[in-house]
Structure 1
């Protein structure tokens, strides 16, 4: 459930470093966040009908595969347009988790049980935006083998 908000905002602490590395302005790198949410919007719009037609598991697995491949593309993006395009794909992939998790709860629970399950899911969802910037701040240092994040070049 937290996959979407973590994927959306984990890179925010590194916006400046990414912009410097790609040789573009921060505004251009911020378009990657817009692209991400565009992908989520499109994915959510089509995800529901796809999960009903093709099944929850298959749609989720394809979506997670798209998310994983797009994440690798984001990490290796040599230019801003590739970064932005990969972020759109990340949004598409992560949107399947949003749709499928909610559909599964609706499939297996009714009434108070469904309300309780959705309440727990929303609590879990709220943790994503809290954790993602912390992870985004720590990851460059961890990836650099313990060096200071200011020593790390994207």
Structure 2
């Protein structure tokens, strides 16, 4: 039963992604403008966006939002845990080349995480709403409409 629910959610997500990609790619040249897309699956009635949808938006839009950064940090945490286990196994096998190899992988992982942290500290995080506006998914406010008309 859980698999069926997961498959339905995956199908709905794929349909939404296909619609949005089509809207982005064909907006300037066909009868399928971005404004015709129904984004009920991305925005709820309150305007809140779930973390999973925010991570998906973070992959499609420029910038890094908060939920995407949390996902990246947890991914690096799990990678660090796996590399620590591998390093422990390398020490127990007493193979110096394996220990050196895994230690180099740990060094690469730590340096990449530190560089990403530094980069995001310099540039800052982007709000999910801003990312939605960037790719044309947010509902336009009356202020934005009035500014465009002037």
TM-score, normalisation: structure 2:
0.28
Normalized per residue, which structure has more helix? Answer: 1
Question: Relative contact order (C-alpha < 8 Å, sep 6+): which is higher?
Answer: 1
Q: Which has the larger Rg? A: 2
Normalising to structure 1: TM-score of the pair?
Answer: 0.28
